[in-house]
Amino acid sequence: METFTQLYNGPYSWLLYVTVMAVGGAIMFVWAAGMAVIWTYGERRIAAFIQSRLGPNRVGPWGILQPIADGIKLLAKEDVRTKVAAKLLYNMAPLLVFIGAFMPFAALPFSERWVVVNMDIGLYYILAFEAVEVIGILMAGFAPGSKWSLYGGMRLAAQMLSYEVPLGLCVMVVIILAGSLNLASIVEWQSHNAWGFKEPWILGWTIFRSPAAFLAFIMFYIGGLASTKRAPFDLPEAESELVAGYHTEYSGMRFAFFFMAEYASMYLICGLAAVIFLGGWYGPIPQPAVPEGVSLVRRWSEFVAAAGGFGSLGGWVWGSLNAWADPLNLRILAHEAIGAFNMVLKAFSLYFIMIWARWTLPRIRIDQVMHLCLKVLLPFSLLCVILALVQVAVF
């Protein structure tokens, strides 16, 4: 286990640490916000194609600039606030929701080395921050003083909190099987020794390792749909019942925050499912092998140190150039890039299915949502946990 502080023990270690963290954070922020940009366009296009129409095709070639136009529109929109709104809560709610959706990205990896913080309790951290969103949305439901918002908020609180339980139990199955809360080690576990193979390719994925995990994956996905408020569980913002649910009274950028948060947390659920059930960056495209325990940043810093250290410009430039020319570095880069591609491919496939389902299925009623959670998902996920325990104990 390595952290960035151990990377370089020179006088500039803190600088390196801060820089790397800031760059990583910025990349993840852009990625999280980019989800809304990519997938509003994607969703509208997919929805249109499903519905035998063309979808956005005006702004830019094939309409790909549509999300940017939407963003500008939202920025330019008047910020309307109801008279009776509780100001502090009203203003805070979108931010809190966005924070709740964005923070977990810190622990969500692209690939083995491309992760902002590789936490030992990554899984726990992600699930915990998912729950922060609930508070924000409850505030959003309560603050504007609109009855429809209140309904949306209350529905969401009931729905998200109850679905946390089966969601957690499904994750528990993976934890039991893999024996770790660390996302990297869960993927590591998936890439070795399954069904008698040393390199099992996709057979090593959690869902293929145990029937319990397969079932848990499906239930995790359904629970994920519910906790990201996606159809058929989009009751908190059911437009035909509650107008727009908890964000009825929000406009402009405040609404955009909710919007981005929704799309970001969808990626979160899909990404998490991809990591813990579908092998993360491992497979289907095989990665070139690299030795254990090497790190791009460390190797780069070694190259810089060899070329004159961080104190001199020559060290920076020559070191970086030498690092680029090094075959092992390129190999690691390819390894990471292919891993990231695998990861994003899986997450986006799951994302696509979410959208596909949304444009197919009718909405479930609130009591049926609870029925599904408490009477279907909960017992079955408990069953999965027991099965997983038996599997671990016996085999």
Partner 1 sequence: MANKQSPLRQYFKDLWNGIITTWQGMTLTGWYLFKPKVTMRYPEEKPVIPPSHRGLHIYEENKCALCLGCVAACPVDCISIEALGKGKNRLILKFDIDYSKCLFCNLCCEACRPACLHLGPDYDLSSTTREGCVLHLARVKTEEEIEAHKKMLAAREAERKAKAEAYQKELEKEAEKEKDK
Partner 2 sequence: MNSTLEQPESLRTEELLVNMGPQHPSTHGVLRLLIQTDGELVRQAWPHIGFLHRCFEKIAESVTYRQVVPYTDRLDYLASMNNALAYCLAVEKLAGFEVPERASYLRIIAAELNRIASHLVFFGCYGLDMGAFTPFLYGFRERELILSILEKLSGGRLLYHYPRIGGVARDIDPQIAAEIQNFIKEMRRVWPEYNRLLSENAIFIKRTANVGVITKEAAVAYGLTGPCLRGSGVAYDLRRAHPYSLYERFDFEIPIGQGLKGTLGDCWDRYWVRLLEMLESLKIIEQALAGLPEGQITAKVPPVIKLPEGEVYVGCENPRGELGFYIISDGKPQALRIKVRAPSFSNLSITNAIVRDVLVADVVAIIGSIDIVLGEIDR
- At its nearest, how many Å lie between partner 1 and the CB of residue 63? 11
If one asks whether residue 375 binds partner 2 (CB under 8 A), the answer comes out as no
- At its nearest, how many Å lie between partner 2 and the CB of residue 370? 10
Among 243, 294, 297, 382, binds partner 2 (CB under 8 A): 243
Question: Phi, psi (5° rounding) for residue 384?
Answer: -60, -45
**Which residue, 237 or 336, is less far from partner 2 as judged by CB?**
237
Write the CB contacts of 249 (distance below 8 Å, at least 6 apart in sequence).
Answer: 80, 81, 82, 85, 144, 145, 146, 149
Q: How close are the terminal C-alpha atoms of the chain, in Å?
A: 28
Among 16, 20, 47, 389, binds partner 2 (CB under 8 A): 47
In three-state secondary structure terms, 197 is strand
Among 53, 83, 87, 198, binds partner 1 (CB under 8 A): 53
If one asks whether residue 50 binds partner 1 (CB under 8 A), the answer comes out as yes
Residue 62: which region, alpha, beta or left (left: phi > 0; alpha: psi -120 to 50)? left
**Residue whose C-alpha is closest to residue 43's, from 73, 63, 61:** 63
H/E stretch holding 259 reads helix 252-277
**Residue whose C-alpha is closest to residue 133's, from 231, 224, 252:** 224
57 touches, from partner 1, partner 2, none (C-beta below 5 to 8 Å by class): partner 1
Binding mask 373-392 for partner 1 (x = CB under 8 A): --xx----------------
- At its nearest, how many Å lie between partner 1 and the CB of residue 56? 11
Among 16, 46, 99, 382, binds partner 1 (CB under 8 A): 46
Strand pairing partners for 148? none
Range in contact with partner 1 (rule: CB under 8 A) among 42-50, 86-94, 236-244, 310-318 = 42-50
Q: Are 93 and 253 in contact (CB under 8 A)?
A: no
Residues that bind partner 1 (CB under 8 A): 46, 48-54, 57, 356-357, 359-361, 375-376
Residues that bind partner 2 (CB under 8 A): 47, 50-53, 147-148, 151, 154-155, 231-232, 234-235, 238-243, 359-368
